[in-house]
Amino acid sequence: MQKVRLREAVGVAFGVAVIIGNTIGAGILRTPGDVAALLPTTTLFLSVWVIGGLYVLVGAMCMAELGTLFPDSGGQYVFVRHALGDYAGFIVGWSDWVSTCGTTAAVSIVIGEYTGALIPSLHGHVVAIALFVTIFFALVQWRGVKWGSRTQEITGLLKVLAFVIVIVACLAASHPKTAGPAVMMPASLFVAFVLALQAVIYTYDGWSAVIYFSEEVRDKARNIPRALFAGVFSIIAIYVGVNLALLYVLPVTAIAGKNLALAAAADAVFGRLGDPIVRALMVISMISGINAYHLMATRVIFAMSRDGVVTRRAAVVNKGGTPTVALALSAGVAILFILSGTFEQVIAVLAFFFVANYTLSFISLFVMRKREPDAVRPYRVRGYPFTPAIALIGSIAFLVGAVAGDTQRSVYALLLLAVSWPVYRFNKSRIDNREA
């Protein structure tokens, strides 16, 4: 059977836009307060954001090599399946797909909540707004990959402009910096720094989004690395810019513990308009995210279907280049999550796999270097093996931290892992028998 391919229709601009759309959201508005509570000094507070960005940059180097070595759409599933086998790929792909669909539901619900706060007439219609947003962007993408990619580029640009305007407004404002309450330094600075770094790296997550579309990127050898690095540097600049703006308006001790630190800074700069400005910023950020989540979830289940890991029916592509069955499945699962309200529990349990997937991807790089040392690699990680070793050690550390931080849900995740093997074998044998 000839392998179905997605058309080459996107470039660097889309790659950067989908990284920004998938990464920048509510996290950058909420995490600074948590970090400041752990590290209540300006130097430590800023350093953890810079170090987190550097770690992400190291990870981007690894993904750039893997993305150009295996230029197929589907994300980390593609690398892990090639390097570690169908079952490992199944685990990565399935958990990635379900969690992305759950994230679509979660973010759609938040859009509904904030839209209701901004527009009183829509208050109380959270589920209806969430369903509308989810279905609307699915229909846009149904038209074709050009519609989905252009929408991502436009919403990504709006998101960047919105953050830049808020950052510049804060830095340009003339106002006295209010004194914050005294905050005690943590008993263990090392533990506090590790916890803060973990929170920051979670906030950076999403930086690898372009690899979900590798076969659709024109001039892959050059543009996949370009999009990865341009996207990562853009996110680092925005995150550091937001935190500098916060510290310009408020002392670090006043930020500590704030659920929405940027809202507090906006109140100081814009007065009573601060809260609606930040809410509008969040809606703009999350709308870009919804489009990105649909695009990414669709590519994961499409790739698994094309490889025969799940039913091949999801490998259908329309004239516009959209995997329509995969899109319908992804949007359908997100809608079910919205209606059932179970997305929070699902995402929490699958957080274990989210961290483990990075670990498996970095292991895949080492496996492929040993197994196929002479393979054509348009991009090679600088500093190998030390650079990817840093990424791998960091991902293992975060995996251990995820298990220690939420043992109960990690046990649920391990139970799911145990159950997945017979499910995988049954599904695979059924597909093989049908094709025999």
Which residue would you say has higher pLDDT here, 402 or 157?
A: 157
Give the pTM.
0.92
Q: 317-336 burial by CB neighbour count: b if 16+ within 10 A, else e?
A: beebbbbbbbbebbbebbbe
Which residue would you say has higher pLDDT here, 318 or 281?
A: 318
Lowest model confidence (mean pLDDT) among 38-42, 114-118, 195-199, 352-356: 352-356
In the predicted structure, residue 7 carries a pLDDT above the cut 80? yes
Distance CA 293, CA 18 (A): 9
The pLDDT value recorded for residue 431 is 75
Indicate the DSSP class of residue 26.
T
The pLDDT value recorded for residue 274 is 82
The pLDDT value recorded for residue 178 is 58
Which residue would you say has higher pLDDT here, 386 or 2?
A: 386
Which residues does 319 contact at the CB level (< 8 Å), separation at least 6? 144
* Three-class SS state of 10: strand
Q: Are 384 and 390 in contact (CB under 8 A)?
A: no
What does 289-331 look like in DSSP terms, one character per residue? HHHHHHHHHHHHHHHHHHTTSS-GGGG---TTS--HHHHHHHH
Indicate the DSSP class of residue 258.
-
Lowest model confidence (mean pLDDT) among 136-150, 289-303, 337-351, 374-388: 337-351
> Residue 214 corresponds to which tokens in the numbers above?
């590798």
**Confidence tier at 424 by pLDDT (50, 70, 90):** confident
Q: Are 212 and 73 in contact (CB under 8 A)?
A: yes
Q: What percent of the chain has pLDDT over 90?
A: 64
* Three-class SS state of 217: strand
* Three-class SS state of 202: helix
The pLDDT value recorded for residue 177 is 57
Q: What is the mean pLDDT of residues 182-208?
A: 84
What does 133-198 look like in DSSP terms, one character per residue? HHHHHHHHHHT-HHHHHHHHHHHHHHHHHHHHHHHHHHHH---PPPPPPP-PPPS-HHHHHHHHHH
**Confidence tier at 1 by pLDDT (50, 70, 90):** very low
The pLDDT value recorded for residue 182 is 59
Mean pLDDT of the chain: 90
Which residues does 423 contact at the CB level (< 8 Å), separation at least 6? none
Sign, Cα dihedral of 140, 144, 145, 151: negative
The pLDDT value recorded for residue 419 is 82
**Confidence tier at 86 by pLDDT (50, 70, 90):** very high
Helices and strands counted in the chain (H then E): 16, 0
